[in-house]
Amino acid sequence: MFVGSQLDLTPWSPSEYVNTTMKNRSNHSQFTPSVSVVIPTHNRRDTLLRALESVRVQTRPPMEIIVVDDGSTDGTPETVEQKFPEVIVVRQSNSGVSAARNRGIRESSGQWIAFLDSDDEWKPEKLSKQLAQLASDGETPLCHTNEIWIRNGRRVNEGKRHAKAGGRIFQRCLPLCVISPSASVIRRSLFDEIGYFDESLPVCEDYDMWLRICARYPVAFVEEPLTIKHGGHKDQLSRSYPAMDRYRIQAIEKILDEGILESGDREAAIKMLREKIEVYVDGANKRGRADEVKRYVVLLNKYPPRKDQL
């Protein structure tokens, strides 16, 4: 349970988890749809325990919690099995966050998947309010929430460019990632339709996923900040991969090649693709990377601007 800013990590027994879950179920006239929580992790034992505790105290508990341990060497699986015996722990050799999320999806049995990164956490009503929003929005296949950002232990304000929204937000997704995996609940069947996370992308795999979803569907949004994102730590993937726009370029090219974009979205995607390529090529030129420059110039020629954009 939460005690001020600290967490009581006393483990529950499986029977206690089931009894509490059934008690919470009795407070809902309909305890559907079923939700599987998928948490990928690699050597984040301590923050993972915080994340799991935030799932444990949800007012609307999930059907199952799946931790995919992506080759940790810090005793993560053993600690989780000891402190959270109700959690399903899936172990795999280190293959990256996309492979871990995909493994979690395949191992899950819920109708909806709620992702949570192992360094983030949820407020207690996160799942409850998202499912209520999804129920009111009808056929929307994704719901996300607003966020609280913590950097190096201090709360910070997100910039305007990171502002979250619902509805048809494809064009808002083009500059940068505006949906957080930890804030999202996604209908499981959607992955059978559009594919899983792209395991060839070491970063920006979430950006790629949101483009594919938002090109096809509107999304639901809970304005209340129910997801707590922690940043500033040394093992963040974004710190390991400079010039991340090269992966966003790859994702935009992919969605353009699918041929599913409506004219306005396609024009916006080409415009953003060209902007990102031009910035990246400028940097590559300064660093003497002639082969990269040549490759991206070919891509620019593949997607010329409209005449009114010249």
Task: For residue range 31-42, list pLDDT tens digits in order.
Answer: 368 999 999 999
> Using CA atoms, how far apart are residues 74 and 78, in angstroms rounded to an integer?
9
- Which has the minimum average pLDDT: 21-35, 129-143, 194-208? 21-35
| pLDDT of residue 234 exceeding 80 | no
For a pLDDT cut of 70, what percent of the chain falls above it?
85
**Residue pair 76/49 in contact by the 8 Å Cβ criterion:** no
Confidence at residue 207, expressed as pLDDT on a 0 to 100 scale: 98
Confidence at residue 239, expressed as pLDDT on a 0 to 100 scale: 52
> Using CA atoms, how far apart are residues 171 and 295, in angstroms rounded to an integer?
25
Q: How many CB atoms lie within 10 A of CB 123?
A: 19
**Residue pair 244/276 in contact by the 8 Å Cβ criterion:** no
Q: How many CA atoms lie within 13 A of 222 on its CB side?
A: 26
Q: Is 208 helix (H, G, I), strand (E, B) or coil?
A: helix
> Using CA atoms, how far apart are residues 200 and 13, in angstroms rounded to an integer?
39
Q: Which residue has the higher pLDDT, 173 or 5?
A: 173
Q: What is the amino acid identity at position 63? A: M
The CA angle 144-147-152, to the nearest 5 degrees, is: 140
In our burial notation (b when 16+ CB lie closer than 10 A, e otherwise), range 172-190 reads: bbbeebbbbbbbbbbbbeb
Which tokens hold the place of 257? 């090649």
> CATH says 2-240 is which class?
alpha beta
**Residue pair 296/253 in contact by the 8 Å Cβ criterion:** no
- Tell me the pTM: 0.86
Burial of 271 (0-12, 13-18, 19+ CB in 10 A): middle
| pLDDT of residue 3 exceeding 90 | no
- The string of pLDDT tens digits covering residues 285-306 is 888 888 889 999 999 999 998 7
Q: Which residues pair with 229 in a beta bridge?
A: 149
Q: Is the peptide bond before 124 cis (omega within 30 degrees of 0)?
A: no
In our burial notation (b when 16+ CB lie closer than 10 A, e otherwise), range 276-309 reads: bbeebbeebeeeeeeebbeebeebeeebeeeeee
Confidence at residue 221, expressed as pLDDT on a 0 to 100 scale: 98
Predicted confidence band at 243 (pLDDT cuts at 50, 70, 90)? confident
Q: Which residue has the higher pLDDT, 234 or 194?
A: 194
DSSP 8-class letter at 52: H
- H-helix or E-strand spanning residue 66: strand 64-70
Which tokens hold the place of 150? 């913590």
Confidence at residue 40, expressed as pLDDT on a 0 to 100 scale: 98
Question: Residue 151: phi, psi to the nearest 5?
Answer: -120, 120
Average pLDDT of the chain? 88
